[in-house]
Amino acid sequence: MTGSRTSHLVRTILLAVLGLVWLLPIYLLVANAGKRQVDYDADALWAPGSLGGLSSNLTAVFTTTDVPSGLGVTVLYATVAPLIAVVLGATVGFAVIVLKLKHGFFWFFVVFCGTVFPLQLMVIPWFDVYARVDLFDTRSGMLLIYAIVATPFSAFVMRNFFSGIAESVFEAAVVDGANVGRIFTRIFLPMSTSALVVVFILQATWVWNDLLLSLILTQSPETRPVMPLLNALQSVEGGGPGFTVILTAALVVSIPTAILFMLTQRFFQRGLALGQY
């Protein structure tokens, strides 16, 4: 018993220390976002700010930068593109595993190859194609590229999830007279709700935090997501006094994904346990 308690105590202390280390950057972000521009001092980074300073910086972010418009565009991208990817991924997994598509593994491999090549290798060809077909700096072009990049991971997760569902489920539905579309939409999709939500959350977070694709394939504030706009503040504000505005903008941009994970964490406990049926 003594050894077990000691082990539990050591794990608790270790997790507490790691948690504090992980939270230190967040504290620095919040503390300095709460300081007015004239109060910012590089030698007093650990000193806490004030609600008045935070309010002043929030006003500056929403009145003097393009971050608000970027937030709206990013919400569009981070909602629609992952939804498309989730539907396409579930369709691929259903066709390969449940319908036993001929040469199914080959077609799945073709889809999954989208994750083999790094994005850095693909952005220049994508830029060239987008410039030729007038998709550069358009919302439809960004939705398309985000959906394409997110689909392979979605297909991978849903294929693994559907492989854990007993074949008798599909066979019983066929005996009852249900067609393929009805089986997919009324039986398999509801059974995989948790996995679908997990995939959506992970892909939405990736889209929200993307800088590379949005920096290369967009140009105007009307189509650019919030991350390249946030990055542009560093050159606009120039550091120094304006650094608190940049930190406040970073804080504003970080809040939505944090809230999303907090509200949907229960889905991770169920959705990541693939093959539970």
Whether 241 and 57 have beta carbons less than 8 Å apart is answered as no
Better-predicted residue by pLDDT, 107 or 20: 20
Please say whether the structural domain 67-271 has been given the CATH code 1.10.3720.10. Answer: yes
Query: How far are the Cα atoms of 4, 5, 9, 21, 46 from residue 16, in angstroms, in the given order?
Result: 18, 16, 10, 9, 20
Instruction: Assess whether pLDDT exceeds 90 at residue 37.
Output: no
Task: Output the six-digit token pair for 142.
Answer: 């960004």
Calpha distance 191→197 (Å, rounded) = 12
Q: What is the pLDDT of residues 209-261, one digit of tens each?
A: 999 999 999 988 889 999 998 888 876 544 444 788 888 998 999 999 888 88
Place of tokens 């539907």: 87
Report the percentage of the chain scoring pLDDT > 70.
92
Domain ranges (residues) in the chain: 2-63, 67-271
